[in-house]
Amino acid sequence: MVQTIVILGGAVGGLHIAHALLKKNNKDIKVILVTKNSHFYWNLASVRAIVPNVIPDSEIFRPLSAALSRYPPESYELVIGTATSSDFSSKTVTVSLSSDAEPSSTRTLTYDHLVLATGARYADASTPWKADSSYEAVLSALHNTQSLASKAQHIVVAGAGATGIEVAGELGYEWGKTKEIVLLSAGSSLLGGDMVGPAAANELKKLNVSIKYDSRVVGSAKLDSGKTEIRLENGETIATDLYLATTGMVPNSEYVDARHLDADKKTVLVDEYLRVANVEGNNVWAVGDVVSKPRAGFMITQKQAASVAKNLELALAGKAPVVAKGPPVDILGCSVGRGRGAGRMNNFKLPSFGVWLAKGRTLGVQMVPGYIDGSVA
């Protein structure tokens, strides 16, 4: 009998698992990939794509239909929509469809196994850092940011995590001599005190980016002049032409019952096999930023996707799952502009050139074809 595997989320986690399952050409399974965005978005390069004419849209947005059309039509279905609720005891997920023809229709999908790969978004929905809305909306957020950045004389980037550092670095590389670029850090260092912080700060200074420490943003408002006023925790205000927030990751887990979620963080709770906690039947799995364990990261997501694909195959064959393994080394690399970077491998500092070579040169764009032809899985 054909078993249905519903995968929620069509980014690096969900698409990887879809490929891994479909490549086996197992006639006894059907994969339904449900996702908000009709495209696979290489969001790791979004930090550079906000500078106009550096990365073509077509290199970082690829239709998911192109990824799946290589498989027999009866083996899969691509559903563009948002999972809005789930019932793990009746094994159903309700999806609000985003087709133009039926704007407000919903569909209830029944599954044998369910995979949660809906990731996490940034609190400010106008930023293009994630594919957390429709293709049209993310593309327009990207183009809008490009045009505002070109016109701005003063740009403030908030959040001194990897994304904030990379955004400030790209802006500094392009415009450090002609525009004022400011990076706000909530704490007294970059990257929350990680050993890479000082090296990243040093690279940003070379690009004429100014860093303001102990500057936690508590609010922002549009002024009549068109500028944005940013309010800091210490009472200070900053008026800027463009405010780019990289703060506040929110797991896309609203459709999951609270007893499967961390009470504070709202991330999905999983066991060592990446099965969602408190599910009778153990047929719900989760990977990537919606889990954020040990943290939100691409390489961690990729490893988890490979483990879940393997465990699904074992489960379908009536076998026991294997413990999910993380990446062999902990790598933290920040690209800082188009020429340099800062990073570490475990506790070893990596040279700027090494980070540039491994990451900053391309920001991984060369990996996109593998997600389309399936060779990644």
Ligand X SMILES: *[C@@H]1O[C@H](CO)[C@@H](O)[C@H](O)[C@H]1NC(C)=O
Cα 129 to the chain's mean position, in Å?
7
| Residue 12 interacting partner from ligand FAD, ligand X, none (CB closer than 5 to 8 Å by kind) | ligand FAD
Nearer to ligand FAD, 7 or 29 (CB): 7
- Closest to 252 (Cα-Cα) out of 287, 302, 300: 287
Q: Which x/- pattern, by CB under 6 A, does the window 175-194 give for ligand X?
A: -xx--x--------------
Q: Which of 5, 199, 232, 296 binds ligand FAD (CB under 6 A)?
A: 296
**Position 299 contacts ligand FAD (CB under 6 A):** yes
From the list 170-178, 229-237, 274-282, 290-298, the region that binds ligand FAD by CB under 6 A is: 290-298
Question: For strand 242-245 and strand 154-158, is the pairing parallel, antiparallel, or unpaired?
Answer: parallel
CA distances from 276 to 253, 280, 282 (A): 12, 10, 7
Report the nearest approach of ligand X to the CB of residue 179 (Å).
7
- Closest to 311 (Cα-Cα) out of 281, 285, 279: 285
Q: Which x/- pattern, by CB under 6 A, does the window 241-280 give for ligand FAD?
A: -----------x--x-------------------------
Residue 208's region, left for phi above 0, alpha for psi from -120 to 50, else beta, is left
Report the nearest approach of ligand X to the CB of residue 150 (Å).
16
H/E segment holding residue 212 = strand 209-212
| Residue 117 interacting partner from ligand FAD, ligand X, none (CB closer than 5 to 8 Å by kind) | ligand FAD
From CA 326, how far away is CA 20, in angstroms rounded?
A: 18
| Residue 337 interacting partner from ligand FAD, ligand X, none (CB closer than 5 to 8 Å by kind) | none
Asked whether the beta carbons of 323 and 272 are under 8 A apart, the reply is yes
Of residues 96-155, those binding ligand FAD (CB under 6 A): 117-120, 129-132
**Position 301 contacts ligand FAD (CB under 6 A):** yes
Nearer to ligand FAD, 13 or 172 (CB): 13
Nearer to ligand X, 147 or 153 (CB): 153
Asked whether the beta carbons of 252 and 120 are under 8 A apart, the reply is yes
Nearer to ligand FAD, 118 or 240 (CB): 118
Of residues 25-44, those binding ligand FAD (CB under 6 A): 34-37, 43-44
**Position 289 contacts ligand FAD (CB under 6 A):** yes
From CA 15, how far away is CA 21, in angstroms rounded?
A: 10
**Position 208 contacts ligand X (CB under 6 A):** yes
Cα 272 to the chain's mean position, in Å?
22
Other C-beta atoms closer than 10 Å to the C-beta of 218 total 10
| Residue 44 interacting partner from ligand X, ligand FAD, none (CB closer than 5 to 8 Å by kind) | ligand FAD
From CA 229, how far away is CA 250, in angstroms rounded?
A: 24
Report the nearest approach of ligand FAD to the CB of residue 95 (Å).
7
Which amino acid appears at position 205 of this protein? K
Nearer to ligand FAD, 7 or 156 (CB): 7
Q: Which of 6, 10, 51, 308 binds ligand FAD (CB under 6 A)?
A: 10
Question: For strand 249-251 and strand 284-286, is the pairing parallel, antiparallel, or unpaired?
Answer: unpaired
- Measure the N-to-C terminal CA separation of the chain; round to a whole number of Å: 25
Question: For strand 92-97 and strand 242-245, is the pairing parallel, antiparallel, or unpaired?
Answer: unpaired
Tell me which residues touch ligand FAD (CB under 6 A).
8-14, 34-37, 43-44, 46-47, 82-83, 117-120, 129-132, 163, 252, 255, 288-290, 296-299, 301
Tell me which residues touch ligand X (CB under 6 A).
176-177, 180, 208
